[in-house]
């Protein structure tokens, strides 16, 4: 039997679930297929932004490991149920099944022994990303070796934790587990941490992490992991290190395995993502790919922006598209949070863009003294000719909030002098934009 829908969404990620709810509210007949009921709501809610930040806040409030894990479960369970109801209450048919393309037009879904076929006028692929597994001997068959999902499911706090990969995900977990009292060692293949950040920021970040008890092995070449009882032996640069657990955080890739794309004419990029145009449409008309699976920035908020693009096109308002997306801010939730938007100084030099810069250390900020947290620095770049803001890095408490103010100014071509002369409440971290933009 084949069921027919107006819109079929494969995967319960941010873009897909929002599109399903919105289109159903407009009277469309909509179905959403998600293989894993524990992933209702998508990566962010279940194994990404929300649980990890919940754990960070719990650790900041001095909750122990078991309390932190319990709080994480409360939050994720609540939001998972909320997301499920946000679809079913709006009339979306929700299938807990594995989806696989049979052709460009037909999707087969399997739940146990039950097999159905679905067709739809519009199909949206929203299957997210999965951990990259490097060819390190023992990585997948050694006990107590986990990825960023598995580290959130540990039943017992490791006394020692080895962490392969010093990128944003790895450093967030290093910071979190160090806060919980675990002795963390990070093995980073590069010669420095955060190489894309401003050098002053990268050095401070390493200093603060080391102050919190994180150790670093740079230029590390991990050659294998194996068990010695319940312990994990990690070999790197001809030396062995013993840990209670090892986590690998070596990047994430588009999750297309098992989708049956080989049965379609959907094109892929060289990096294995689903190739899309400016409106997230694939090489097959009326099939879209949104979120991490299309090879763009792997953020929940860019996935939501993909929704805006597809929703606009499907409802007759295609003014906004991927080419018009600009100035995407980012935050790495170490301690303190590290946020940035726009260009860094080395990029400005490489692109021969005229600029002036200013730095303001957090220790000079009144609110930092109130917070009793003097760590960090603000660094901004402006064009002295146009007065526009070219880029900003905010490393300090509340940076994840204040970076959005700068993004809005950049999008709207508001001159940096607006911040320089703005009236802010006091004492706040935002008011320091007065001083850092006093160029």
Residue-range domain boundaries for the chain: 2-130+253-324, 145-250, 330-436
The pLDDT of residue 278: 98
User: Quick one: average pLDDT of 198-216?
Assistant: 97
User: Quick one: average pLDDT of 149-169?
Assistant: 95
Cβ neighbours of residue 47 under 8 Å, at least 6 residues apart? 39, 148, 149, 152
CA distance 336 to 85: 35
Domain 330-436 belongs in CATH node 3.30.390.30: yes
In tens, the pLDDT along 85-102 reads 999 999 999 999 999 999
Quick check: 256 pLDDT over 90?
yes
CA distance 359 to 406: 15
The pLDDT of residue 437: 98
Quick check: 180 pLDDT over 90?
yes
The pLDDT of residue 50: 94
Domain 2-130+253-324 belongs in CATH node 3.30.930.10: no
Tell me which DSSP letter residue 74 carries: H
In tens, the pLDDT along 367-394 reads 999 999 999 999 999 999 999 999 999 9
Q: How far is CA 406 from CA 196, 398, 421, in A?
A: 19, 13, 14
Measured from the Cβ of residue 101, the count of other Cβ atoms closer than 10 Å reads: 21
CA distance 10 to 135: 29
User: Quick one: average pLDDT of 34-43?
Assistant: 92
The pLDDT of residue 182: 97
User: Quick one: average pLDDT of 126-154?
Assistant: 95
* 2-130+253-324 and 330-436 agree in CATH topology: no
CB 141 within 8 A of CB 227: no
The pLDDT of residue 39: 92
The pLDDT of residue 1: 76
Quick check: 10 pLDDT over 90?
yes
The residues that are catalytic are 426
The pLDDT of residue 354: 97
CB 376 within 8 A of CB 362: yes
Domain at 145-250, CATH class: alpha beta
CA distance 8 to 24: 11
Quick check: 64 pLDDT over 80?
yes
In tens, the pLDDT along 264-293 reads 999 999 999 999 999 999 999 999 999 999
The pLDDT of residue 77: 95
Q: Are strands 145-146 and 245-248 parallel, antiparallel or unpaired?
A: parallel
CA distance 415 to 87: 42
């Amino acid at each position: 039997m084949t069921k027919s829908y107006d819109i079929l969404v494969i995967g319960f990620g941010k873009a897909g679930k929002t599109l399903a709810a919105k289109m159903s509210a407009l009277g469309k007949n909509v179905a959403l297929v998600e293989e894993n009921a524990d992933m209702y709501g998508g990566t962010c809610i279940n194994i990404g932004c929300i649980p990890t930040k919940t754990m960070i806040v719990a650790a900041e409030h001095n909750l122990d490991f078991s309390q932190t894990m319990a709080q994480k479960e409360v939050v994720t369970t609540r939001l998972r149920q909320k997301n499920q109801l946000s679809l079913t209450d709006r009339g979306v048919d929700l299938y807990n099944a594995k989806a696989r393309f049979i052709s460009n037009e037909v999707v087969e879904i399997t739940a146990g022994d039950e097999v159905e076929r679905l067709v739809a006028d519009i199909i949206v692929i929203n299957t997210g990303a999965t951990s990259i597994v490097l060819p390190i001997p023992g990585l997948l068959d050694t006990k107590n070796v986990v990825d960023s999902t598995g580290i959130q499911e540990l039943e017992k706090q490791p006394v020692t934790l080895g962490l392969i990969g010093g990128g944003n995900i790895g450093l967030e977990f290093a910071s979190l587990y160090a806060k919980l009292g675990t002795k963390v060692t990070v093995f980073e293949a590069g010669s420095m941490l955060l190489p894309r950040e401003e050098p002053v920021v990268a050095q401070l970040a390493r200093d603060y992490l080391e102050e919190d008890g994180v150790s670093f092995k740079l230029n590390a070449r991990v050659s294998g992991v194996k068990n010695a009882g319940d312990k994990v032996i990690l070999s790197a640069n001809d030396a062995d290190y013993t840990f209670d657990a090892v986590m690998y955080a070596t990047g994430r890739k588009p999750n297309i395995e098992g989708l049956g794309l080989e049965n379609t004419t959907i094109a892929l990029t060289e990096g294995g993502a689903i190739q899309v145009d400016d409106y997230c449409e694939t090489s097959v008309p009326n099939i879209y790919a949104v979120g991490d699976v299309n090879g763009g920035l792997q953020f929940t908020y860019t996935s939501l922006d993909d929704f805006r693009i597809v929703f606009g096109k499907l409802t007759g308002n295609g003014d906004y598209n991927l080419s018009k997306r600009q100035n995407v801010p980012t935050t790495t939730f170490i301690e303190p949070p590290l946020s940035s938007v726009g260009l860094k100084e080395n990029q400005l030099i490489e692109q021969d863009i005229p600029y002036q810069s200013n730095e303001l250390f957090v220790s000079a900020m009144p609110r930092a003294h109130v917070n009793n947290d003097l760590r960090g620095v603000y660094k901004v770049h402006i064009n002295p000719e146009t007065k526009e803001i070219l880029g900003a890095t905010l490393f300090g408490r509340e940076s994840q909030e204040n970076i959005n103010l700068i993004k809005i100014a950049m999008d709207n071509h508001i001159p940096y002098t607006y911040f320089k002369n703005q009236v802010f409440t006091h004492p706040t971290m935002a008011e320091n934009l007065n001083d850092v933009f006093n160029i």
